[in-house]
Amino acid sequence: MAQMERNVNLEEIDADALFGIDALKGQSILQKLIFFCCLLTGIVANVCMPMFLHTPRVVCVFIFLGCILVGIAFGCNYTEDLTYGKYLYCYFFKPVKTLRYESTEDIELIKKRAEELKKEEDLLLKRERNANPREQRKLLVRLLVFVLVIAILLLSALVYVKAVKPKSYHHEVIMEEQVE
């Protein structure tokens, strides 16, 4: 029995692609509806037309292929945002679309933003330096009082524990009299 190569890159797997067909990746609901309706219409036409309308097989095959062509053109994706029909339109008619955008790597804009950030940083540093000394003393006193209260609470808890239980044993030995 032949062994298969099992190295699979999980990042490249698209759960939306049917049977691994890349053209069925990232379809919208409308595209899925168009593709599967055209596929179903082609199959029904290929099966039912010869039985009920006595249409020649060649005509049924061409009708089937036409339905599939419409389904692929408007229901399948060439890229994530371009269907095959749109791709063919762009390929044959070459529409021109002018794009206007502002460069995100504009050096002058970057320098201006860096200067603004530096000014904001300087302003914050200046505020820190000009802090009111009285406020700083109040904060320092509050901190010292808090530390002192915590220390007193801990020491009083230790003294209480020692006062309630004056002898502290790690273990107790109970000796029983042996009866002979």
137 has pLDDT over 80: yes
- CA–CA gap between residue 11 and residue 91 (Å, rounded): 30
Task: Read off the amino acid at residue 170.
Answer: H
Confidence check: pLDDT of 154 > 70: yes
pLDDT for residue 17 is more than 60: no
Angle between helices 57-75 and 84-93 (to 10 degrees): 90
The residue type found at 176 is E
In this prediction, residues 138-144 reach a mean pLDDT of 91
Q: What is the mean pLDDT of the chain?
A: 78
- Which alpha helices (H) appear in 49-177, and where do they start and end? 57-75, 84-93, 107-129, 133-164
Which of 105 and 57 is assigned the larger pLDDT?
57
**Proportion of the chain above pLDDT 90, given as a percent:** 14
Would you state the pLDDT for residue 173?
A: 64
Distance CA(23)–CA(36), nearest Å, equals 13
The predicted model scores a pTM of 0.42
**Quick check: 68 and 38 in contact, CB under 8 A?**
yes
Which residues are CB-neighbours of 25 under 8 A, at least 6 positions away?
Answer: 14, 16, 17, 77, 80
Query: Mapping DSSP to helix (H, G, I), strand (E, B) and coil, where does residue 79 land?
Result: strand
